[in-house]
Structure 1
Amino acid sequence: MSEMTAAQAIVEILKREAIRNVFCVPGESYLPLLDALYNEQSITVISARHEGGAAFMAEGYAKASLKPGIVLATRAVGASNLSIAVHTAFQDSTPMIVFLGQVNQHFRGREGFQEVDLEGYFQPIAKWAVEVRHPKRIPEIVGRAFRIAQSGRPGPVVISLPEDILPAKADMQFGPVVSIPRPAPSAREVANVKELLFRAAKPIIIAGGGVKQAQAEERLLNFAEKHSLPVLTAFRRHDIFPNDHPLYMGHLGLGTQKEVLETVKEADLILALGTRLSEITTQDYTLITPDKKLIHIDIDFDTIGRVYAPDVGIVAHMQEALERLQGIDGNVNWKAWVVARRQKYEWASKLETTEQNVINKSIIAIIRDKLPSDALLTNDAGNFAGWLHSFYAFYEKHTYIGPTSGAMGYGMPAALGAKLAFPNKTVVSLSGDGGFMMTIQEIETAVRYHIPIICLVFNNQMYGTIRMHQEMHYPGRVIATDLGSVSFSDMALAMGAEAYKVDTAGSFEIAFHQALKRNKVTVIEILTEKETISVSATISEIRGK
């Protein structure tokens, strides 16, 4: 028990929870909290140019470090700006805690300056939204926030801090550091899995973010190898299983190759491990059909049965689940099918380049050859990501971060957070010109804090994904998707970064080599053609369908 201000108590909890980085845009509504951070040498405060950028950094940091991302912002205006990242953390199951300054309690209900009900505003897109109404409750509420953000299915927690609360003193009593529950399957549940598994002729695993959050990649690999089980990864979770392994069968996402989808369609048993079986993973909820048996294991009770009723549903931490499943034994009779499906996947994902290739494909080949195997990639939302998803191979864990929420503007700020989590890794972000422009100001943040990332910007002067759908549904009737000519390389140079503009695979390779060697904040602008709108079709081909 010790007397301190509410702001000091928050910092004390951050320190106890081993938080090393917090992200913010400063605001007068939470100045006491900033002042309390001034004296804490163990915590680095990263001040961004926009609350959306700051929160994407925190979300990317959390995905990389597997620790809660912390972001600070002011009242309604700052809160609104970062809400997209809260939604991203919610859909991506990312632990994040958002501290928001709030109007003085004595001014509430009068439409005070920048007043909004922050609890009500964030309730639909956060695991928990709460306003502190007494300084003495700070240790209780913030401690609970850390527990909620990390327990069960991880997600964002939003804490509203009235500006009169933060400087107020109280006797603070701190609880223990958060310990995350790790429920395990029962013996009966393991027996039920065994019975279904060894009755199957063509079983598969669909593995999702729960495997990564539980740091259970090794156990997944061991379990799959023991039983010769083919593994597919859920949307934007490529790095939880080595892509060059004979049991890896591909990624279930946007524009997934038909050979990968055929593997799921032919399967008669699906083990869904740590995935919520999202719209994208299940191809608009069409991929898992009634003729297939479903075993669904997840840390979150509400996730099981939300989309598909399982034949066996188990609430468990993925480390504990896979440890117990490892012990089951039985005869395996599906090896020939596994070999055949792997051959199909290898054929579909084979990366061959010629002078006739579109530049996007050649660039993926170059970065695949030049990057170390532990390099970490992030990406924004957009059609350009299709080439990454289809042709880049992830060999090691913690090498990929992408928004399952599909948020534009995500890739580059998330790369900054990831680089802070793994300062010794090479970190590369991929963006389209539409998404990159939404958070381009954070290049200056990267330069100011010396966070050396490499940003690849595919510039085709349009919102490519929307243009593709426009051409599919209203061919030739182009509206609102064309963008103007912007020199991203010049903008990056003006903010103090290294920059290159390229329009051939050869010039890109030279620029990329320089970027890897110099270890500075670098933007490589890649000029691409509108016609090559996606991996599978050109604009002319779409119109001709």
Structure 2
Amino acid sequence: MKATDVLVRCLENEGVEYIFGIMGKETLDLVDSLSKSKQIQFVNTRHEQGAAFMADVYGRLSHKAGVCMSTLGPGATNLLTGIASATLDFSPVVALIGQAGLDRQHKESHQYLDLVKIYAPATKWSVQIKDSQTIAEVINKAFRIAQMEKPGAVMVELPENLAAQLILNNAMNARPLPKCVPTNEEIQAAINLINNSQKPFIVIGNGVVREDAVNGVKAFIDRLQAPVTHSIKAKGILPKDHSQNYFTFGFKEQDKVLPGLKEADLLIIVGFDFVEQLPKEWNKKKVPVIHIHTVPAESDEYYPVQAELAGNLKEMFQAINDVEVMPKSWEPSGNLREKIRQAYFLNDVKTSTLSMTSILQSIEKRSCEKTIVVSDVGAHKVSIARTFQPKGPNKLIMSNGLATMGIAIPGSIGAKLARSEDPVICITGDGGALMNFAEIETAARLGLSFVIIILNDSKLKLEEQMMMKQFGNTYGTSFGNPDFVQLAKSFGIKGVRPADLQEFESMLDEALKQKELTLIEIQLEKG
């Protein structure tokens, strides 16, 4: 068989359904092999960055590695930002990249860059296939590394001269990753610390979602009865009206949850990734910590670990919930939960004005347990992180580790392909939207239906706020925009522009009901 035919067999054995990317001369053999697959669909995107974002979000929602592809040189460098974003958000992604033949890599050569070195800091593993006979081994290892905790991106480079070589079909079957849990003694030591505390506070992160441990963690929360806060990416694990839910923490400014963490005498940190915010920002009092995660703790003076449980969180909480734990029902002083609700605009606001708060509350009211909201990066991301309350875990998707603008539109494509029956709502600013707007053509070509909400204020609002605060001016933060409604229509999709909140809600209801690709442009105040 041709080497790329074997590679495709390997991908099929890993359960791959989609490969997102743009072909080039160095990947023609791979695309030819994909054309013969009855399982894998090659999604021809409009930009490699969009392909990586699609694979990222697909990986998060499908709980298996998303796959993207590019050719060498500019194709590979275009892919890099999305790959780095996947790694810092712990999304399982495998990137397949074509490369110049081995016969010309030792000298100055057209479009040749040492991609293994370039990708090494942005991936869990970066490797070049040097012998076509090792394709099966490399692909099998790539998927295992991408999917094992903590997940991330892997880059596999295939030199052009190896792609068409004839080799034996030695494709390897995927194997489930092993699961490990702490010993009973380690679990009991952690429970003893909890039982001896007076004011424990639980902090939950996205690792709980990745490990499918939500039910076990919720059972533990109900047993302990202590207050709980969560990171941005762990929103939806607890319902909005849960009495122990102290909502989101991890903001650089106006983090209203911090007084509760300072008042605690023990922090139970479950599945929280430091990439969201370092402990020095939220544990300045150096409150003792119980570390519960898939991997051992990275300790420092602001993360003083007293007990450590590392392993599969789902299996771990099944064991933890078999051990007797004393309820620790307490409330932080100063009516903190209600103060958070007010500061984060979590109480209903009756208004007819189109504002971020009213928009998000309207979306929340129309969301069901299956609704997926994909947020771009910008000032609106902060509002979403504080105010919007999804009705389930892993239903709010954003780039948070690398905080990459441009993810929302291509990410929504990945979301819809991973969860075809679930409503998807894309929220993006005008800056982020135009970075990958061309992928609307990809979505339309695939026949996908989701709602794109573009917040148009003709500026980088977050940067404007920072410039004004630091320098007293807004230099370089404003720009012009096209007519987004007409631009949407030029792509063959529906585009509308509401004049007020009531009209927005009517347009959103219609878009969700009709199940067609719809763009809603909201003109925000420019002041």
Same fold (TM over 0.5): yes
Query: Structure 1 residue 344: deviation in Å?
Result: 4.0
Equivalent-residue separation in structure 2 for 1:398 and 1:478 (angstroms): 36
Aligned counterpart, 2:35: 38
Aligned counterpart, 2:493: 497
Aligned counterpart, 2:163: 166
Q: TM-score, normalised by structure 2?
A: 0.95
Equivalent-residue separation in structure 1 for 2:297 and 2:75 (angstroms): 31
Equivalent-residue separation in structure 1 for 2:69 and 2:304 (angstroms): 39
Aligned counterpart, 2:406: 409
Query: Structure 1 residue 215: deviation in Å?
Result: 0.8
User: What are the superposed Cα offsets for residues 157-179 of structure 1, whole Å, 9 maximum, x if unpaired?
Assistant: 00011011111122243334132
Equivalent-residue separation in structure 2 for 1:307 and 1:171 (angstroms): 54
Equivalent-residue separation in structure 2 for 1:25 and 1:447 (angstroms): 17
Aligned with residue 241 of structure 1, among 238, 243, 247: 238
User: What are the superposed Cα offsets for residues 481-521 of structure 1, whole Å, 9 maximum, x if unpaired?
Assistant: 11113212211110111111234212211221221122111
Structure 1 range deviating more: 481-490 or 431-440: 481-490
User: What are the superposed Cα offsets for residues 251-282 of structure 1, whole Å, 9 maximum, x if unpaired?
Assistant: 12336754322222222211111122335375
Aligned counterpart, 1:292: 287
Aligned counterpart, 1:483: 479
Query: Structure 1 residue 330: deviation in Å?
Result: 3.4
The alignment status of 1:47 with 2:44, answered yes or no, reads yes
User: What are the superposed Cα offsets for residues 464-496 of structure 1, whole Å, 9 maximum, x if unpaired?
Assistant: 111111011011x22111111321221111011
User: What are the superposed Cα offsets for residues 216-256 of structure 1, whole Å, 9 maximum, x if unpaired?
Assistant: 11111111111113221113321333333222211123367
Equivalent-residue separation in structure 1 for 2:351 and 2:112 (angstroms): 58
SS at match of 1:170: coil
Q: CA distance change for structure 1 residues 132 and 258 in 2, over 3 Å: closer, same or farther? A: closer
Equivalent-residue separation in structure 2 for 1:273 and 1:374 (angstroms): 24
**Matched AA of 1:359:** S
Equivalent-residue separation in structure 2 for 1:490 and 1:341 (angstroms): 47
Equivalent-residue separation in structure 2 for 1:221 and 1:244 (angstroms): 14
Structure 1 range deviating more: 409-418 or 252-261: 252-261
SS at match of 2:162: coil
Query: Structure 1 residue 25: deviation in Å?
Result: 1.1
SS at match of 1:75: coil
Query: Structure 1 residue 300: deviation in Å?
Result: 2.6
**Matched AA of 1:504:** D
Identity of aligned residues (%): 26
The answer to whether the Cα contact below 8 Å between 1:236 and 1:253 also exists between their aligned partners in 2 is no
Aligned with residue 271 of structure 1, among 268, 271, 283: 268
Equivalent-residue separation in structure 1 for 2:151 and 2:292 (angstroms): 15
**Matched AA of 2:52:** A
The alignment status of 1:189 with 2:186, answered yes or no, reads yes
Equivalent-residue separation in structure 2 for 1:287 and 1:467 (angstroms): 26
SS at match of 1:478: coil
SS at match of 1:148: helix
Q: CA distance change for structure 1 residues 479 and 342 in 2, over 3 Å: closer, same or farther? A: closer
The answer to whether the Cα contact below 8 Å between 2:286 and 2:304 also exists between their aligned partners in 1 is no
Q: CA distance change for structure 1 residues 321 and 342 in 2, over 3 Å: closer, same or farther? A: farther
The alignment status of 1:151 with 2:145, answered yes or no, reads no
SS at match of 1:461: coil
Aligned counterpart, 2:326: 331
Aligned counterpart, 2:355: 359
Aligned with residue 311 of structure 1, among 284, 306, 323: 306
The answer to whether the Cα contact below 8 Å between 1:247 and 1:338 also exists between their aligned partners in 2 is no
Q: CA distance change for structure 1 residues 372 and 289 in 2, over 3 Å: closer, same or farther? A: same
Aligned length: 525
Q: CA distance change for structure 1 residues 106 and 172 in 2, over 3 Å: closer, same or farther? A: same
Q: CA distance change for structure 1 residues 351 and 336 in 2, over 3 Å: closer, same or farther? A: closer
Aligned with residue 375 of structure 1, among 357, 371, 380: 371
Aligned with residue 395 of structure 1, among 385, 391, 394: 391
The answer to whether the Cα contact below 8 Å between 1:151 and 1:181 also exists between their aligned partners in 2 is no
Q: CA distance change for structure 1 residues 115 and 133 in 2, over 3 Å: closer, same or farther? A: same
User: What are the superposed Cα offsets for residues 104-136 of structure 1, whole Å, 9 maximum, x if unpaired?
Assistant: 111112232210001000001100000000000
The alignment status of 1:215 with 2:216, answered yes or no, reads no
Query: Structure 1 residue 439: deviation in Å?
Result: 0.5
Equivalent-residue separation in structure 2 for 1:312 and 1:357 (angstroms): 50
Q: CA distance change for structure 1 residues 178 and 304 in 2, over 3 Å: closer, same or farther? A: farther
Q: CA distance change for structure 1 residues 13 and 302 in 2, over 3 Å: closer, same or farther? A: farther
Aligned with residue 418 of structure 2, among 413, 421, 433: 421
> What is the correspondence of 1:516-535 to structure 2 with a 5 Å cutoff?
516-531=512-527
> What is the correspondence of 1:74-93 to structure 2 with a 5 Å cutoff?
74-93=71-90
Aligned with residue 130 of structure 2, among 130, 133, 138: 133
SS at match of 1:499: strand
User: What are the superposed Cα offsets for residues 314-342 of structure 1, whole Å, 9 maximum, x if unpaired?
Assistant: 32111122122112213324345599554
Aligned counterpart, 1:229: 226
The alignment status of 1:436 with 2:454, answered yes or no, reads no
The answer to whether the Cα contact below 8 Å between 2:200 and 2:264 also exists between their aligned partners in 1 is yes
Query: Structure 1 residue 196: deviation in Å?
Result: 1.4
The answer to whether the Cα contact below 8 Å between 1:73 and 1:100 also exists between their aligned partners in 2 is yes
Query: Structure 1 residue 292: deviation in Å?
Result: 0.7
Cα RMSD (Å): 2.0
User: What are the superposed Cα offsets for residues 427-461 of structure 1, whole Å, 9 maximum, x if unpaired?
Assistant: 00111110111000001100010111111111110
Q: CA distance change for structure 1 residues 454 and 54 in 2, over 3 Å: closer, same or farther? A: same
User: What are the superposed Cα offsets for residues 348-401 of structure 1, whole Å, 9 maximum, x if unpaired?
Assistant: 443332447552211112111223232110101011123322222222233121
Aligned counterpart, 1:468: 465
Stretches of 4+ aligned residues off by more than 6 angstroms: none
Equivalent-residue separation in structure 1 for 2:48 and 2:221 (angstroms): 42
Q: CA distance change for structure 1 residues 335 and 145 in 2, over 3 Å: closer, same or farther? A: same
Equivalent-residue separation in structure 1 for 2:364 and 2:333 (angstroms): 26
The answer to whether the Cα contact below 8 Å between 1:228 and 1:338 also exists between their aligned partners in 2 is no
